[in-house]
Structures are given as structure tokens and as C-alpha cells.
Structure 1
């Protein structure tokens, strides 16, 4: 190959490298900025990896964003909060319902249950 072709290939690789660095450093991959389809997929994948008693309320807000629906109550000295994150589309009506969400139950800020059992536990408190 001649020097011109090699130079152009190297320049293209350099421009691509700069583009990748800019995207990695400046693109805000925040769930609040995602399309609803992407956010559902993100929520499903993220929630599937959660471990009980090692995930906090603050981490949920930081990593998943604001919940679509939330409920809270205090029983004795314990604060309970159930947060619903949209994970499955059911009806195109512009309204997010509990049936379209996965509930996460937090007890004093620590994750104690995931899924339908979380909301059942919350209601029975």
C-alpha cells in the first residue's frame, strides 16, 4: 500500500478513537433520558442483578432514577418504601400502572424484596 492510503487509515482510526473517548466521557446514560422502551429494558436487566440486603434506596435513585410509582409507611420504628420501576409494556395509554412495573421493597433504606412478593409484603404490614 502506498503512504497516502496508510495515512488515511491512521487518520480515520484517530478520529474514531477521539469520537469514542468523547462519547464515553460526555454521554449521560441516565434512565430519565432514555426512551421508554430502552428504560424498560435497562430496568429489567438492572433489577435482575440486584441482591437483597446489599442494595440501598439511595443506590436505586442514583442508578434507576425516580420510580414510576412509590408508596411508603412506617410500622413501629421501621420505615418501609415500595418503589415501582416500569419493566413491561402492557397498554399504550400513556399511563404507567403497577402491573407494568416491578416493585422493590426497602426496609429502613435496604432492599428486602423484589417483585410481586415485595408489594404483597408491603400491603400486609
Structure 2
């Protein structure tokens, strides 16, 4: 009996282990190796590609269906129409979790139709 207790006491430290928690952050297998593990950079690259493929005159809801939720949204009514500006993250420099307008591309809509994107389009309605 003493031998059994002695064996149990000596082997307890050997049987204990540690638990390692691993999270894939909802990313599919292989994604990190293909994109260097920077999900936000990959998403912003996809945003840039999508924005570049948009056509002038595209419907507001159609565009929203192709992009993630805007980081910022503005709405302005002028005599000649209603302008919506959505800001989509495309140029973040750090993965600090905070997106500012200067890290976004503005998409400008007049009466629900895309009239342009980028700073030059935004300046036309200011």
C-alpha cells in the first residue's frame, strides 16, 4: 500500500499537463498561411478590389451588398438632391482595432446612385 501511495505521489507531477487554447478567430484553415495571418489587411485589400470594380450609377443597396458594413456614414440634403457618403476601411496602417476616416475610402451617392469614390468625389459635394 505504501508503495502504491509512493508511486502515485511521484507520478502525479508527470501526469499533470497544461492546456493550450488555440483560436482561429473564425478563419478558415490555410487562410493565415496564404495571407500572413493579417485578416484586416486581407479584408481591406478585398474592399479596394470591390470598390475599384464598381460602376458609376450603381444602386446604393447593390453596392452595400458587395461591401462590409460601412465604418462611417454621412447623409446630406442639398437643393439638388440627397447625398449619402459611406466610408469603407481600405488603408489602415496598424491593427489597433480602431478605424479612422483617413484610413477609409469614401463612396458618394446622389439620390441612391453612385456618383464617385475617393477624396475627389467627396470634395465635389462639399
Same fold by TM-score greater than 0.5: yes
The answer for the alignment partner of 1:111 in structure 2 is 114
CA deviation profile, 1:53-99 (whole Å, cap 9, x unmatched): 2x111012111032111111111251101111111122343211111
Higher helix share: 1
The answer for the alignment partner of 2:46 in structure 1 is 42
- Root-mean-square deviation (CA, aligned residues, Å) is 1.5
Check the 8 A contact 1:82/1:118 in 2, yes or no: no
Residue 38 of structure 1: CA displacement?
2.2
Q: Does 1:62 align with 2:65?
A: yes
Q: TM-score by structure 1 length? A: 0.64
Aligned with residue 74 of structure 2, among 71, 75, 79: 71
Partners of 2:54 and 2:107 in 1: how far apart?
A: 10
Check the 8 A contact 1:87/1:101 in 2, yes or no: yes
Aligned residue pairs total 88
- For 1:46, what is the secondary structure of its paired residue? helix
Q: TM-score by structure 2 length? A: 0.63
Partners of 2:92 and 2:74 in 1: how far apart?
A: 21
5+ residue gaps, structure 2: 1-38
Highest Rg: 1 or 2? 2
